[in-house]
Chains A and B, each alone.
Chain A
Amino acid sequence: MKKNIKIALVGNPNCGKSSLFNALTGLRQKVGNFAGVTVDKKTGYISLAKDTIASIIDLPGTYSLYPRRIDEFITFDVLLNADNDSHPDMLVIVADASNLKRNLLFCSQIIDLKIPTIIALNMVDVARKNGLAIDTQQLAIELGVKVIPINAREGKGINDLKRAIQTTVPVPEKNFVEVRPLCPEVVDGVKEITKVTSDYTAFQIACHYINIFCFNVEQKGKIKQLLEQHHFAMSKLQGEEILQRYERINAILDRCTSQDQSRQQALDTTARIDAVLLHPVYGYLIFLLIFYFVFQAIFSWATYPMEAIGAAFSWMQESLDNLLPESLLTNLLLEGVLAGIGGIVIFIPQIMLLFGFISILEDTGYMTRVSFLMDRLMRKVGMSGKSTLPLVSGMACAVPAILSTRGIENWKDRIITIMVTPLMSCSARLPVYALLISFIVPDEKFLGFMNLKGLVMMGLYLLGWAMALLAAFVMKLIIKAKEKSYYLMELPIYRKPRWGNVGITMIEKAKVFVTDAGKVIITISIILWFLASFGPGNSIEVIEEKYASMQPTESITQTDLNNQLQAEKLAASFAGRIGHFIEPAIKPLGFDWKIGIALITSFAAREVFVGTMSTIYSVGSTEDVDFEAIRERMRNEIDPETGEHVYSAATAFSLMIFFAFAMQCMSTVAVVKRETKSWKWPSIQILYLTGLAYLSSLIVYQWMK
């Protein structure tokens, strides 16, 4: 029987915890979620001795044990709640040596929890560059726990750390500070009620018992009574505790470290880079350049692998179609399941590219500078500086953009960013816009040099931006904050990106998307296939029989017949019925039932609109779309009741506005569900975006007609 020990990695943000985690576990890691919240739970495995496997869990970074945000509560609960599944047998605290004082505050709190602990002292090299020399042996004696110097980036000291983990790690003997004298009755009382043994754990429970899940109502009631009886002044005592800790930390640092004031190499280099990157002019120029580059990458570079994936899936569909017998099952497999899988895989290039860039920007320390430059602007509309990248990425595709909102710590900022990102004009709208613009906008020059078509396209992009900011502003007033929002953010020194970490992040994010959002996408894809392939009663069979007896003549070729068959089948399907059914509702927008069908099918993805129009006007299959032919048919389409043209400029503009705002994308719905952990937010999002699209189209059509 193998022995399995649970080890948790804890530490301040930016201390190199993820680097150490990757160095320890490599690709033997999996990413999940802590139950019920959108905080990544990373677990990895290492074999220590022949009979021991250690599972390592990477807990969210936190500056202290006083939790404020959801991810800090996770760390808090795992450490204090012995019943938590992830409660560790041993802790490895990662401390940043170049920031020793602040990192020791958290270390000292952890030591007082009385869990077997080792400190991995990281970035000793950076500390040395800044003129700080540390006597680690003396430090270990003072703290009462083992201190192992490591360099997580270069993989140095990892074996020492592994060896240290294998030996028996004792529970820290002495308290770092004595909290009992601050409130003896409360500490003793909580120990009595909860049976915990450490004074500091009891003190922490007194501060946060409401949010600790393991105690029953009776225990919580008793704690509440105890605190009231002794007038427990939480904030004041916590402040007192922190002061005492820093007092002792200062004394220890005096004995264990020496600072050469004249050397500040790492900080000086960072200051020189900041002078450029945070410059009022160059700073914004460089920011625009970098973000344009990222946008360009996901917008156009990603199209090569995406086209290859699309072609591969078409080829698979075609060859399987020839190979398999014609049956309902084949049909479901090809047009429902395979199309759904294709619709998932197609996003992988964009997701991997975006997260590659995000990982580089975060690793180097630049991302915090972007927040610094943009916070004031973004805050005005209820978001934060960290919302900038998701919004810009949304101009290429909302799916990776919404996945990247994990970086926004504040819940309200994050929800608002998720809610408005689909308004950014994404690349899937391009074919729809291109079709409609070519239909109504003449190929003329505006003011002699600007292409009128290009101008309309740009207008649609600007409209997306404007509506996103406006919607954010409105939501800022409506949505209630769940937690106090702080901006406070460390500006880490600039470092070189760690390519291994970049690679791991890219693979990890693609995996998470496929497994989590994939289910929803496949399900919706199958439902849409069903709606478009089946009709009430035997309506579809009747049409098939009618065409089976028809023979091509001189004027009508077999292809024409096939196209007409597909068009009639679609019109008779459930999707066709729904199109008819919603016609009265969309008539005021200038849409007929045929457009209604295309609105339903394009919920799979916006670009499907063009393919459906092509099928419905029987000018070809979904695969090879002939723009010119559709345009011709659209131009000639006559309303049977009024005898007027269906496609006036008013209808085309109304459609464009509809596609600018409506949530016509099942993959976005799937990722919003994944990122908010409920159907509540995607439902609100579908309702508000569809409502917005409907109203705007209504106004445009009624005004223009």
Chain B
Amino acid sequence: MGKEQSILSLGKLKEGDTAVIVRLESSDLSLKLMEMGFLPGEEVFVDKIAPLGDPISVKIGTYLLSLRKEEANAVMVRK
């Protein structure tokens, strides 16, 4: 496995990155994230990082969602 294949959290991605969701870290938040469309196998695109560094906005499915980095860190992705 190359470096490209490693699993990291969504909050670590840079603006313009696309990744595939691998799993959600188990927490109260994970249920909420699933409702919003964060499911294993879905593609997620980092649309913007707020000028102050947090929160971030991502495209999931056909819409834009903004979330704080600590929330995004519950989503594990593969680039």
Residues of A whose CB lies within 8 Å of any CB of B are: 63-64, 66, 68, 98-102, 105, 130, 132, 235, 238-239, 242-243, 246, 267, 270-271, 274, 278-280, 283-284, 368, 371-373, 375-377, 484, 486-493
Contacts and interface: CB of A to CB of B under 8 A. Distances in A.
Given A101-B37, A239-B30, A267-B62, A278 B51 contact: yes
Interface in B34-79: 34-37, 39, 47-48, 50-55, 57, 59, 61-68, 71
B35 A375 contact: no
Interface in B9-40: 26, 28-37, 39
Contacts, number: 106
19 contacts: A66-B31, A98-B63, A101-B62, A235-B31, A243-B34, A270-B64, A271-B47, A274-B47, A278-B48, A373-B51, A375-B52, A376-B55, A486-B29, A486-B71, A487-B71, A488-B33, A488-B66, A490-B66, A491-B64
A284 B52 CA distance: 11
A372 B57 contact: yes
A130 B62 contact: yes
B2 to A, nearest CB: 28
Given A102-B61, A375-B54, A376-B52, A487 B67 contact: yes
A490 B55 CA distance: 12
A257 to B, nearest CB: 11
A488 B31 contact: no
Given A274-B48, A373-B51, A375-B50, A491 B65 contact: yes
B71 to A, nearest CB: 6
B64 A377 contact: no
Contacts of A99: 61-63
A278 B64 CA distance: 14
Contacts of B48: 274, 278, 372
Interface residues of B, number: 31
**Shortest beta-carbon contacts, A-B, top 7:** A280-B51, A491-B64, A376-B52, A64-B35, A487-B68, A242-B34, A376-B54
Contacts of B52: 373, 375-377
Given A283-B51, A376-B50, A377-B52, A484 B62 contact: no
Contact of B68 (A375, A377, A490): A375
Interface of B: 26, 28-37, 39, 47-48, 50-55, 57, 59, 61-68, 71
Contacts of B30: 239
Nearest to A275: B48
B31 A242 contact: yes
A368 B62 contact: no
A377 B52 CA distance: 8
Nearest to B50: A372
Nearest to A374: B52
A63 B53 contact: no
Contacts of A377: 52
Contact of B66 (A63, A68, A372): A372
Contacts of A239: 30-31, 34
Contacts of A375: 50, 52, 54-55, 68
A101 B26 CA distance: 23
B20 to A, nearest CB: 15
Nearest to B51: A280
Nearest to A486: B32
Contacts of A493: 64
A68 B63 CA distance: 22
Contacts of A243: 34, 39
B35 to A, nearest CB: 4
Contact of A238 (B31, B54, B55, B63): B31
Contacts of B54: 375-376
Nearest to A99: B63
B36 to A, nearest CB: 6
A490 B31 contact: no
Contacts of A371: 66
B50 A491 contact: no
A105 to B, nearest CB: 6
Contacts of A100: 62
Contact of B53 (A267, A283, A376, A487): A376
Contacts of A486: 29, 32, 71
A270 B61 CA distance: 15
A372 B66 CA distance: 7
Best-surrounded residue of A105, A371, A376, A488 (most CB of chain B within 10 A): A488
A132 B33 CA distance: 24
A642 B13 CA distance: 72
B62 A242 contact: no
Contact of A368 (B31, B53, B59, B66): B66
A291 to B, nearest CB: 16
Contacts of A132: 62
B11 to A, nearest CB: 12
Contact of B64 (A64, A105, A376, A490): A490
Nearest to A246: B39
Contact of A63 (B35, B39, B47): B35
A278 B50 contact: yes
Contacts of B47: 271, 274
A547 B64 CA distance: 75
Nearest to B64: A491
B65 to A, nearest CB: 6
Best-surrounded residue of B32, B66, B67 (most CB of chain A within 10 A): B66
Nearest to A279: B51
Nearest to A62: B35
A487 B66 contact: yes
A105 B30 CA distance: 16
Contacts of B51: 278-280, 283-284, 373
A302 B51 CA distance: 34
A371 B68 CA distance: 11
A504 B71 CA distance: 36
Contact of A373 (B35, B50, B59, B63): B50
Contacts of B35: 63-64, 66, 102, 105, 242
